[in-house]
Structures are given as C-alpha cells and as structure tokens.
Amino acid sequence: MKIAIIYHSGFGHTKVVADRIALGARKVLSMVTVLSSEEATVHLHLLNEADTLVFGSPTYFGNVSAEFKKFMEASGSIWAKQAWKNKLAAGFTNSSSTNGDKLNTLINLSLFAAQHSMLWIPLGILPRYDQDGKQLPEHNGMASYLGLMTLSDNSHHHFNEPADLLTAELFGERIARITLQVKSREVEIHS
C-alpha cells in the first residue's frame, strides 16, 4: 500500500509539515512518497500507483497557492478518466495567522478530491481542554476538523511548536491506518 504526499511550499513550512505527516505515516506503512507539486505534475504516474494522496498547500489570500493550483489543473486528463476514483485523500495547509481563511484552502483541497471521486479522510483529532474548559495549545490546537491546519509566525521562522508538528505526525499515522484498513478490506472483498 502506497501513500503519496503532494505539497507546495513557498517559505519551507508546508514542506516541514509534509515531512512530519510522512514520518507519522511511515510508522504504519513503509511506502510513503513526498513530492513537491512541481515533481508530482511531472510524475503523475507515481500518483496513479498510490492508494492515498495527501494534498498540502500554504494558504495565500484565502486559497491554495498558484503553484499548487497548477498541479490541480495538470490532473485534468486523470479527472476525465476518473483514474483516482475511490483512492483515499486528505489535506493540510499552513499560514502565518491564526485563521488566515485556512478553512477555505481545505475546502478547495477536499473539493478537488471530490471532483476526482476520491474518499476524504478528515483530521480526526480532537482539541484538548483543561479542567476549566480552556482549550490547550496542543493536539489540533487550531481546532480544525476537515484537515490539518498549522500556524507559522509572520517572520516565517517558527511554528506553533510542538503542537502543530505533533498533530501532523498523528495525522500521518491516522492516514496510514485508514489506508491499511480500507485497502485491506478491498483486497479481501476482491479475493
């Protein structure tokens, strides 16, 4: 079973998150490939071989980056054949503000997956709270559910560490476990 993580990273943060998702996924499955959106556009055949595709883009002006959009548009011939139908998909984004309209980026990534008839894996990690009900800055500190949101400061040097990167790793494990569960079941059904 194979997972491919496709990302664009303008300042390096989205790549760091992609690598942490891969680290978590490799705890469950060994076949995890990390590709920039440029590399993925050139090597679309690698994506056709994967069981799960994980999409990552920084949030620029409330949407995916132009570079990631190029990758999306390059998949048009795959879309026309529905070659990714029933593959699993997930997504993540980073921005330098707490909100930054990151949800819109995740919506665009999930819609892209839906247009390819893929099955979306949500984050599945609840935020944590102290005994007074105050949210703690750990494990999904951004309180995102559709996919992973991470935060880097405006100087582009720091993450909301270690919470965001730990959440990325946990998300990678979740993606791999679901891939294993769903794809094993498909093999069982077709045997």
Nearest in space to 71 (alpha carbons), one of 51, 44, 108, 52? 44
Q: Is the pLDDT of residue 160 over 80?
A: no
| pLDDT class of 157 with cuts at 50, 70, 90 | low
**Mean pLDDT on 150-155:** 79
Q: Is the pLDDT of residue 178 over 60?
A: yes
Give the pLDDT confidence of 112-138 residue by residue, as tens digits: 999 999 999 999 999 888 889 887 777
What are the distances in angstroms from CA 88 to CA 60, 76, 154? Answer: 25, 18, 33
Give the pLDDT confidence of 18-65 residue by residue, as tens digits: 999 999 999 999 999 999 999 999 999 899 999 999 999 999 999 999
| pLDDT class of 185 with cuts at 50, 70, 90 | confident
State residue 189's pLDDT score: 82
18 within 8 A of 56, measured Cβ to Cβ: yes
From the CB of residue 62, how many other CB atoms can be counted at a distance below 10 Å? 14
The CATH code of the domain that includes 115 is: 3.40.50.360
Domains contained in the chain, number: 1
Q: How far apart are CA 173 and CA 29, in angstroms?
A: 9
Domain limits for position 94: 2-190
State residue 187's pLDDT score: 76
